[in-house]
Amino acid sequence: MGILYVVGTPIGNLKDITLRALEILKSVDLIACEDTRVTAKLLARYEINKSLLSYHQYSKLQKIDLLISELKNGKNIALVSDAGTPTISDPGDVLVNEAYKNNIKVIIIPGVSACISAISISGFNTNEFVFLGFLPKKKGRETMFKSLQEEKKLIVFYESPFRIKKTLSDILEKLGDKEVFVARELTKIFEEVYRGKVSEIMEKVKEKGEFVVIIKN
Ligand code: SAM
């Protein structure tokens, strides 16, 4: 039986990768990734030549079957996503689940995650938080905001540049003028953080790049 390694990769700065992750990426038989072009760029940076198989949670189950049968045949596979920790708002959980069902060993090679990175520099009390991934765009959005009115913990979620202003304005309207922390483009050239009342931040925030939003309760 092979081993399935779940490998964390950078969220921007390609130097944010562990020595162990590089060692594993060099040693496995196959790397299962989201977008082969994104992973190829990372591998090129570290001169790693490896077969890549584009894997997507929503692609046909045959792909999972193929990876599981490779693992059963003794091949070691690394699962990576385009950025950060696989399966955190990213595909891969179905493969990991199938691996356990087939008694295949799963090993984590920990790396960065945008969620944890943002929380750790928010300066808020981080003892307890709820992570929502991406918020619903339409269906369920209203109900979700209603349920958040009762939330006492930090609320953390991912947001896109196309909806950041709308979401901040929804927070103001539905939850009040909360204290927020917005992290944009962490570890990248245009890295920026905003901290303050949501009413102020919605005026300042640039609608470009990738975002993590944290609401203080
Ligand atoms: N698996 C990833 C992780 O562990 O961080 C998250 C993948 S999810 C598909 C991508 C979202 O994460 C982006 O839309 C953005 O909200 C957030 N994100 C990823 N990289 C980021 C960065 N460098 N700065 C801020 N947010 C980021």
Please list the residues that pair with 155 across neighbouring strands: 130, 215
Among 77, 109, 141, where does a domain finish?
109
**Is 0.85 topped by the overall pTM?**
yes
86 and 138: one domain? no
90 and 124: one domain? no
Q: What is the CATH number of the domain that holds 127?
A: 3.30.950.10
**What domain count does the chain have?**
2
CA 21 – CA 9 distance, rounded (Å): 8
22 pocket-lining for ligand 1 (C-beta < 6 Å): no
Query: What is the average pLDDT value for the chain, to the nearest integer?
Result: 96
Q: What is the CATH number of the domain that holds 42?
A: 3.40.1010.10
85 pocket-lining for ligand 1 (C-beta < 6 Å): yes
Strand order in the sheet with 3-7: 52-54, 30-33, 77-79, 3-7, 105-109
Question: Is residue 56's pLDDT more than 80?
Answer: no
167 and 180: one domain? yes
121 and 188: one domain? yes
Question: Is residue 31's pLDDT more than 80?
Answer: yes
Q: Pick the atom of ligand 1 nearest to 112's CA.
A: 4
Cα 156 to Cα 11, 55, 180, 181, distances in angstroms: 17, 27, 10, 9
Q: How high is the pLDDT of residue 58?
A: 55
Closest-CA residue, ligand 1 atom 2, reads 84
104 and 82: one domain? yes
Which distant-in-sequence residues (6+ apart) come within 8 Å of 189 by Cβ? Answer: none
89 pocket-lining for ligand 1 (C-beta < 6 Å): yes
CA 169 – CA 79 distance, rounded (Å): 37
13 pocket-lining for ligand 1 (C-beta < 6 Å): no
Range of the domain at 130: 114-216
Radius of gyration of the chain (CA): 19
CA of residue 102 to ligand 1 center, whole Å = 30
118 and 163: one domain? yes
9 and 105: one domain? yes
132 and 76: one domain? no
124 and 86: one domain? no
114 pocket-lining for ligand 1 (C-beta < 6 Å): yes
Q: What is the mean pLDDT of residues 192-207?
A: 98
